[in-house]
Amino acid sequence: MIDMSRLGVDFAGVHFKNPIIPASGTFGYGREYEEFFDLSLLGGISVKGTTGSRRNGNLPPRIAETPSGMLNSVGLQNPGIDHFIGEELPYLKTKNTVVIANIAGSNEDEYRTVAEKLDSTDVDMIEVNISCPNVKAGGAAFGVSCDGAARITRVVRKATSKPVMMKLSPNVTDITEIAKACESEGADAVSLINTLLGMRIDIRTKRPILHNNVGGLSGPAVFPVALRMVWQTANAVKIPVCGMGGVSSWEDAVEMMMAGAVLVQVGAALFSDPNCPVKIVEGLSEYCRNQGLSSVTELTGSVKVW
């Protein structure tokens, strides 16, 4: 039995019973994982990235293993916002956990439309993926420039009264500048990092393993990079930070929080251990007890830098 008494956190006006959340794109809508554990044990769930209409995603192969990680180019396959609101959200709201709708789009209008539709629902928070290709800018991701990140933040902020969390791309020169641009346009929080851009080649066929040629790298290999970016960002903005990127154990979660994260998302680790999030919650509870902490919030930003 997990003792949640020390694990509650408040984040952007929303209360979470614990800080652990399965990351968007790795957990679907939770139905499959419910075979392994009670979803109410989670602090929240960030659902599959949702767009204005159904997307079939990229052509296969779209997953490739790498040392200490994986590459993916799934391409935002999802059933669309109307299906999510009508079919998936009612199910998720019975699970006694915070529901975070992750949204994406190819242009400002798509972000606006999806956010507006979610505004009248009982979704608890909106996480905005700005690593999507901007079709009007030749495919460059919105999140790789301060201007692009600020514009999408502004659009979503005007479209909804829900708490807005911007999910940042690590494929930038200075992630703190992107975070500050989002903050300046009304973001309630930021989450980071999304995947790092990577590539693998099949030396027999001389072709990239992924049909899309490149994909997003996730897993333990990216953890030190993610940790560094979380630390930098937490010290650059006043809004709260949700940390992710290579988290696979409760020790990783503690590090993320010490670096400045209030919440922690778990992604690729779910594919090798579906019970990973619950094990992390259990480990955090035990760590707080052993360290004599009255609240897990005491960990956030507690790193003592040299």
Instruction: Give catalytic residue positions.
Output: 132
The token pair that represents 167 in the structure block = 């999910």
Cα separation, 128 vs 104, whole angstroms: 6
**DSSP character at residue 247:** -
| β-strand partners of 21 | 265
Considering only CA atoms, which of 215, 163, 164, 218 is closest in space to residue 193? 218
Give rounded-to-5 percent helix, strand, coil for the chain: 35, 20, 45
For the chain, the straight-line distance linking the first and the last C-alpha, in angstroms and rounded, comes to 38
Considering only CA atoms, which of 14, 4, 84, 11 is closest in space to residue 42? 4
At which residue do the structure tokens 């505004």 appear?
A: 119
Q: How far is CA 213 from CA 58, 60, 63, 145, 245, in A?
A: 11, 11, 11, 23, 22
Cα separation, 142 vs 130, whole angstroms: 5
What 3-state DSSP class applies to 241? strand
The token pair that represents 53 in the structure block = 């209409």
Residue 103 — φ and ψ, nearest 5°?
A: -120, 155
The token pair that represents 107 in the structure block = 């242009």
Long-range contacts of 251-254 (CB under 8 A, 24+ apart): 251/283, 252/223, 252/280, 253/19, 253/20, 253/280, 253/283, 253/284, 254/284, 254/287, 254/299
